[in-house]
Amino acid sequence: MTETGSAAAGSHVRGNLLTPAYLWMTRQRGGRALGVAAALGVIANLAFPPFGLWPAMAIGLSGLIWLLDGARLADNPGKAAFWRVFAFGFFYFLFSLYWIADAFLVEPDIYLIFIWMPLILLPGGLALLLAWAMRFAFQFWCPGPARLIIFSVALMISEWVRGALFGLGGLPWNLPAMVWTAGGAVSQTASIWGVYGLSLLTIVALASPAALADARPRGTTASRAAPFLVAAVAFGAIWGWGASRLASVPDDEGGPMVRLVESGVPQKDKYKPQMAEQVVARFRNLSGPDSPTAPAILVWPEGALPGLLFEWPDALDAVTGRLGNRKLIIGIARRENADTPNEKFYNSLAVLSAASDARGPLAIYDKHMLVPFGEFTPFSDLLGKLGLTTLQKLAPGGFAAGPKPSTIRVPGIPPFGPLICYEAIFPGLSPVGADRPRWLVNISNDSWFGHLSGPYQHAAQARYRAIEEGLPMARVAAGGFTGMIDAYGRWTARGKPADPAVYGPDPAGWTSSVVDAAIPAQAHATPYTQWRDGLFALMLISLNLGLLVLPRR
């Protein structure tokens, strides 16, 4: 149907307050339609941290549905739908993930030539995934409430696929559920159906305003308002349940005290040879001496030191020499089978004691989920010929992946589940059942990404893991957000600049951080720990069955 046909169709739309906006959106063609779609993708990002304006997501999703309504009236409906969704998706993912480009500016003389990857290739690839999913769903498009279900299922399947992308680890970053503040009332339902289940409900609810206007010539205002009203009631109930859960948190005593330590060394300076001893000394000073009042557990961030600690005797002696009776959880890079054909490097978490300089670590966990291009190079044989290598410094050729996380049990430390950096964005990694830990430890290095939105979003996702698992979390993030999180996703203590009167002055340009906090009490094992994404799958099936009873004409 041509644009003239669009105007004719629009004349039959039953009027309401949104009719002018609906008619304007459905009449957009060509480049104007793509421009509107791109603007909606940008607006939708205002729903994520650090902004947290969830109505922006409702505007973005509802507007995209109206643009798809208009695509049905184009000369080539399928093509129009594909490119409108692609334009939305490209700018949606670009503004959601632009901060990754900052890592390519740490050493611009080496990596600036590849900055097109996070700014063009990544958002373009994810947008193609979304566009193809919606293009398939568009075959079943129709006026009325059924199109909300078609849209929501297609979008959620696309989100699930990118979370497990091609076996490369996936990128479940800024799932729709993240528009709800971690630790707030709505976020508590992630303990039941996980972040994917809450994301599906969020899409349906925030897309429901699109039902207030459609191309049906019949239908009352009440019938059009029904999906929106049902969504409002449902999320009112969700909020009420979450608020009740938070109000009934018992006043149980927590566990032992932990000191969370971050040196604040800028990423651009960290690997300069002259900085090595200064970084070690700063961590030692911030950790303080062993004393009867000092926390018995220390946590340092991912890749805390600029070297292979177990091949750096002076640093290992300096780190262990001040521990006394304390235990240190530290992020390190390490190597096995050095200088042999079987040489491998690992991004690891180690537990050290005062005797570890002679006897080795008390425990080691090797990171399981690695960052593509950050820690390993996919299709390395091909891409290596183009000069593309990983961004990290200590492992030529990249890191090897370790096994899935299991609970670390060391005398003097409550059993804990390890999550290194990127792993905190993946739901369902923590051990369950008999291996369920007492708390989670998330060490990270967010200093690659400056003070942009990435560290805010990374911390929010880590807090969702605490909610899903019903476990408190200690989080130490270089250049990010450090603190203690309770089993409901709420900060109980936050890192603050180290007092120079106690710990000495920071070197120029550094902002060190120290926080002492007790490990909060754990919650009961949540439904999500038992069912994982089973409820999410059930909800997807139920929505598809709903298409059998919803009016399609």
User: Which residues are the active-site residues?
Assistant: 302, 367, 421
Q: Where are the beta strands (DSSP E) in 400-495?
A: 408-410, 413-420, 439-445, 473-478, 483-485, 491-494
Q: Residues 67, 36: contact at Cβ < 8 Å?
A: yes
Length of the chain measured in residues: 553
CA–CA gap between residue 448 and residue 269 (Å, rounded) = 11
The full DSSP string for 273-301 is GGGHHHHHHHHHHHH----TTS-SEEE--
For tokens 């292979």, name the residue: 308
For tokens 């030529």, what's the residue? 396
Which pairing describes strands 513-518 and 257-262: parallel, antiparallel, or unpaired?
antiparallel
CA 82 to chain centre: 27
Residue 364, H or E segment: strand 363-366
The SS3 assignment for 530 reads: helix
Peptide bond connecting 50 to the previous residue in cis, omega within 30 degrees of 0 = yes
Helix (H, G, I), strand (E, B) or coil at 544: helix
CB-CB neighbours of 403 under 10 Å? 8
CA separation for the pair 300, 322 (Å, rounded)? 14
CA-CA distance, 10 to 26, in Å (whole number)?
Answer: 8
CB 27 within 8 A of CB 7: yes
State how far the Cα of 545 lies from the Cα of 549, in Å rounded to an integer: 8
Strand order from edge to edge, sheet including 483-485: 408-410, 413-420, 439-445, 473-478, 483-485, 491-494
428 contacts 194 by C-beta, under 8 angstroms: yes
For residues 131-158, one letter each, b for 16 or more C-beta atoms within 10 angstroms of the residue's C-beta and e for the rest, the string is: bbbbbebbeebbbbbbbbbbbbbbbbbb
In 3D space, the residue among 3, 29, 22, 159 whose CA is nearest the CA of residue 81 turns out to be 29
Are the C-beta atoms of residues 480 and 444 closer than 8 Å to each other? Answer: yes
Distance CA 399, CA 238 (A): 42
- Cα 274 to Cα 83, 301, 508, 514, distances in angstroms: 52, 21, 14, 24
How far the first Cα of the chain sits from its last, in Å, is 18
Alpha helices in 216-266 (DSSP H): 221-247
Residue burial 199-214, b: 16+ Cβ < 10 Å; e: rest = bbbbbbbbbbbbbbbb
